[in-house]
Amino acid sequence: MAVKKIKLFLFLSFIVGLSSSCGDKFQPKKEIRTDCVLGSEPIRKVLFIGWDGVRTDALIAAQTPCIDSLLIHSYYNWSTDRGEHTVSVPGWSTILHGVWPAKHGLTNNTFSSNNYKTYADIFTLAKQVKPNLSVATLSNWDDFLRITELENYAQRFDTDRDVKDDAIRLMNSCSPDIMALHFDNPDAFGHDSGFSPTNQAYLDAISVSDAYLSEIMMTIAQRESLYNEEWLVVISTDHGGEGTGHGNQYDLTQTRYVWSILRKPGMNGPVQIPIVNSVDLLPTMLNWLNIPVQASWNLDGTVLF
Ligand SMILES: [Zn+2]
- pLDDT tens-digit readout, 199-232: 999 999 999 999 999 999 999 999 999 999 999 9
CA of 191 to the centre of ligand 1 (A): 6
- pLDDT tens-digit readout, 37-49: 889 999 999 999 9
CA of 47 to the centre of ligand 1 (A): 23
CA of 25 to the centre of ligand 1 (A): 21
CA of 238 to the centre of ligand 1 (A): 9
CA of 245 to the centre of ligand 1 (A): 7
Structural domain spans, the chain: 34-297
Angstrom distances, CA of residue 242 to CA of 61, 88, 190, 192, 290: 16, 15, 9, 12, 39
CA of 190 to the centre of ligand 1 (A): 8
Three-point CA angle 145, 146, 149, nearest 5°: 85
Query: Which pLDDT score, from 0 to 100, does residue 14 have?
Result: 38
Q: Is the pLDDT of residue 297 over 60?
A: yes
Angstrom distances, CA of residue 74 to CA of 167, 232, 262, 274, 299: 21, 9, 5, 14, 24
Angstrom distances, CA of residue 269 to CA of 11, 65, 72, 109, 264: 49, 16, 5, 38, 11
Phi, psi of 76 (to 5 degrees): -150, 165
Q: Which CATH class is domain 34-297?
A: alpha beta
CA of 211 to the centre of ligand 1 (A): 21
Query: Which pLDDT score, from 0 to 100, does residue 215 have?
Result: 98
Query: Which pLDDT score, from 0 to 100, does residue 209 have?
Result: 98
Q: What is the DSSP letter of 143?
A: G
Query: Which pLDDT score, from 0 to 100, does residue 22 have?
Result: 38
What phi-psi label fits residue 176: left (phi over 0), alpha (psi between -120 and 50 degrees) or beta?
beta
Distance CA 93, CA 105 (A): 9
- pLDDT tens-digit readout, 131-176: 999 999 999 898 999 999 999 999 999 899 999 999 999 999 999 9
pTM: 0.90
Angstrom distances, CA of residue 267 to CA of 18, 46, 232: 44, 16, 11
